[in-house]
Amino acid sequence: MNQRNYDVVIIGAGIVGSMVARELSKYELSVAVLEKEADIGMGQSTSNSAIVHSGHDPEPGTMKAKMNVRGNELWYQIAPDLEIPIENTGALIVAVGAEEQSGLYPLLEQGQKNGVKGLEILTREQVLEMEPHLSPDVTGALSTPTAGVVDAFQGVLGAAENAATNGVEFILDAEVRGAVVEDGVLKAVETSQGTFSASWFINAAGVHSDEILHMVGDHPEFEITARRGEYFVFDESTFRVSNVLFPMPSKKGKGILVTTTTHGNTMIGPNSDPTGDKEDHSVTESGMHEILEGAKKLVPMVSPRGVIATFAGLRASGNYKPDGHRKDFLIEVSKAVKGLVNLAGIESPGYASAPAIAEYVGELLRGEGVSLKEKADWNPKRHRIPRFKEMDHAERAEIVKANPAYGRIVCRCEEVTEGEILDAIHSPIPAKTYDAIKRRTWLGTGRCQGSFDYPRTMEILARELGMSMTEITKKGPGSVFLYRQTKEEVV
């Protein structure tokens, strides 16, 4: 197979890889991103709580704390340029009972040490006024006004599309299977799509970042355990909360939260189940029970009625403890081989931290003597596919006049038009699977969960990509929808 050469190769197109790609696209560098899946953002970046955490939760002095607080700030600056839906909703860490109430003060202090702005402890009355659905048993809350909610996939897509527009190549279905190390220098990686050599490699491989480390003999003791978290998504009409509502944190993490997404659906979860299997995205009966019970403690009216989707995400939970007791992100220029920057064990608050991690990668490379010369024509902006559902009457009348494809509604519940699907297929990082279209347009995510749009979406994909219906997949190789034509001879 062919060998391609770049200045920088990024392994993994999740939020970290995509943000790093965008950061490096500012400079005169040739950059490629290798992604093992059929689309970007298929891992933990997009199956999580979709929250831009404030940074009150990590322990002071850790990379987690630094990156989270800086990342939070950067998100609100970057998102408008990239047309990423983001809302600075604020979050409440809710205490129930005297014991939890007294726990709010150490949390406040920790947040202040981390440099989080605007922290405040609210009384029961203040909290209930802000969030009438909260349990009457609430005694108070820590308010973290810088927290917010973000469209998790649009975040990855916005950064990646902007990077692509600025010259970064995204190579999908390219799984890294081996590393070529010569004289202590990482020269190339071997993938399912050939060999990629580069002066620098960025390990942003999420739940698989430990495997990349081990390929080059770096941090053999470092290991990622996949901790599964399950979620329920409710129909828009069920109920909403204004802030992200957290219970008091425990050893297991930030707990089962209640949040209303940028799409207007309320979501509850996650639990925390160490599965070990890095590809196990299944939802379990016991997990679903656990998150319902957990969410009810905060919002008693939560019930299975109105649930329109369930999903599970995996957290890349690493065991990196630089000071021996506090778990942290593993962010460093590799000491084992030259030419590698590790961004490993990026679990929560990784999404919130991603823009700061990207910024820091720039500093690390500069520190290594890489010449970062700014491009004269770098474009900071990215435009989203128009969204018919969010348009007013005049805008709708206008867009269908300009392009009749926007007049054909393919997904009834979410009102996604054929025009939006065509835009997704012909975008800077083309959508080539059903799920890739679903994530770009939000088609099939409503009440009918795709029952009506499947056949039509498959037809459009087949037509536009010049493929047969039996080649159309849900999420890449091995996930076809249709086996054969009815009148085809069965061999």
Partner 1 sequence: MDVNTNYDVIVIGGGPAGISAAIEAYNANKGKVLVIERNDSLGGILPQCIHNGFGAINFGEDLPGPHYAHRYETALRELPVDIMLDTMVVDLTPELDIYTMSSYYGYQHYRPRAVVLAMGCRERTRAQIRLPGTRAAGIFTAGTAQRLVNIEGYMPGNEIVVLGSGDIGMIMARRLTIEGAKVLGVMELLPFLTGLRRNYVQCLQDYNIPLHLSTTVNKIYGERRVEGIETIKVDENLDHVPGTEEFIKCDTLVLSVGLIPENELSRKAGVQIDVRTNGPIVDSDMATNVPGIFAAGNVTAIYDLVDYVSKAGEIAGFSAGRYAASQEKNHHEGSRAIRIKPGANVGSIIPQQIFIDDLGDRDVYLSMRPNSLLERMVKVELDADSEPVMSFREQYARPAEMIIRKLKPRDIEKLKATETNELVANIS
Per-residue tokens: 124? 């029961």
Does residue 239 bind partner 1 (CB under 8 A)? no
Kindly state whether residue 390 participates in binding partner 1, applying the rule CB under 8 A: no
401 touches partner 1 (CB under 8 A)? yes
Among 407, 430, 465, 471, binds partner 1 (CB under 8 A): 407
Distance between CA 173 and CA 163 in Å, rounded?
18
Among 336, 405, 465, 467, binds partner 1 (CB under 8 A): 405
The distance of closest approach from Cβ of residue 141 to partner 1 in the complex, given in angstroms and rounded to an integer, is 30
- Residue 180 is a binding residue for partner 1 (CB under 8 A): no
Choosing from 18, 146, 317, 473, the residue that interacts with partner 1 (CB under 8 A) is: 473
How many chain residues are in contact with partner 1, going by CB under 8 A? 62
What's the Cα-to-Cα distance from 309 to each of 124, 312, 437, rounded to whole Å? Answer: 32, 10, 17
Phi and psi (nearest 5°) for 104?
-70, -35
Taking the mean position of all CA atoms in its chain, how far away is CA 126?
A: 32
Instruction: Specify the pairing of strand 257-260 against strand 194-203.
Output: unpaired
Instruction: State the alpha helices, DSSP H only, in 415-453.
Output: 418-425, 434-441
Measured CA to CA, the distance from residue 156 to residue 378 in angstroms comes to 19
Q: Which stretch binds partner 1 (CB under 8 A): 132-140, 280-288, 341-349, 353-361?
A: 280-288
Shortest separation between residue 268's beta carbon and partner 1, angstroms: 13
Catalytic residue among 53, 208, 219, 263: 53
Q: Does residue 491 bind partner 1 (CB under 8 A)?
A: no
- Residue 101 binding partner 1, by CB under 8 A: no
Stretch that binds partner 1, among 200-208, 316-324, 379-387, 473-481 (CB under 8 A): 473-481
Nearest to partner 1 of 77, 286 (CB atom): 286
358-366's contacts with Cβ under 8 Å and 24+ in sequence apart are 358/16, 358/19, 358/20, 358/22, 358/23, 359/23, 359/70, 359/74, 360/67, 360/331, 361/20, 361/23, 361/24, 361/202, 362/23, 362/24, 364/332, 364/333, 365/8, 365/24, 365/200, 365/341
> Minimum distance between the CB of residue 430 and partner 1, rounded to whole angstroms?
20
| Binding segment (CB under 8 A) for partner 1, from list 25-33, 101-109, 308-316, 342-350 | 308-316
Confirm or reject binding of residue 463 to partner 1 (CB under 8 A).
no
Which of residues 320 and 442 has its CB atom nearest to partner 1 in the complex?
442
Q: Which of 10, 12, 400, 317 is nearest to 168 (CA)?
A: 10
CB of 282 to partner 1, least distance (A): 5
Q: Are 350 and 15 in contact (CB under 8 A)?
A: yes
Give whichever of 200 and 434 is closer to partner 1, judged by the CB atom.
434
Q: Identify which range of 6-14, 112-120, 323-331, 442-450 contacts partner 1 by CB under 8 A.
A: 442-450
Rg of the chain over Cα atoms, rounded to whole angstroms, equals 23
Q: Per CB under 8 A, does 477 bind partner 1? A: yes
Does 490 engage in binding with partner 1 (CB under 8 A)?
A: yes
- 447 is an interface residue for partner 1 by CB under 8 A: yes
d(CA 412, CA 415): 5
The CA distance from 112 to 104, in Å, is 12
How many C-beta neighbours within 10 Å does residue 384 have?
17
Query: Please, how many CA atoms are within 13 Å of residue 337, restricted to the half-sphere of its CB?
Result: 28
Closest contact distance (angstroms) between CB of 247 and partner 1 is: 22
What would the two tokens of residue 459 be? 């037809």
- Contact between 258 and 296 under an 8 Å Cβ cutoff? The reply is no
Q: Is 53 labeled as catalytic in the residue annotation?
A: yes
Interface pick for partner 1 out of 237, 303, 371, 379 (rule CB under 8 A)? 237
Contact between residue 174 and residue 34 where contact means Cβ atoms under 8 Å apart: yes
Q: Is residue 470 at the binding interface for partner 1, with CB under 8 A as the rule?
A: yes
129-148 residues near partner 1, rule: CB under 8 A: none
Residue 285 in the binding site for partner 1 (CB under 8 A): yes
Task: Say whether 394 sits in a helix, a strand or coil.
Answer: helix
Cβ 304 to partner 1 shortest distance, Å: 6
Question: What is the distance between the terminal CA atoms of the chain, rounded to a whole angstrom?
Answer: 33
Gap between the Cα atoms of 370 and 378, Å rounded: 19
| Stretch of residues binding partner 1 (CB under 8 A), selected from 159-167, 213-221, 358-366, 410-418 | 410-418
Q: According to the binding rule CB under 8 A, does residue 387 interact with partner 1? A: no
> What residues are labeled active site?
53
**Residue numbers of the site for partner 1 (CB under 8 A)?**
233, 237, 279-285, 287-288, 304, 307-311, 388, 393-394, 396-397, 400-401, 404-405, 407-409, 412-413, 415, 417-418, 434, 447-452, 454-455, 459, 469-470, 473-487, 490
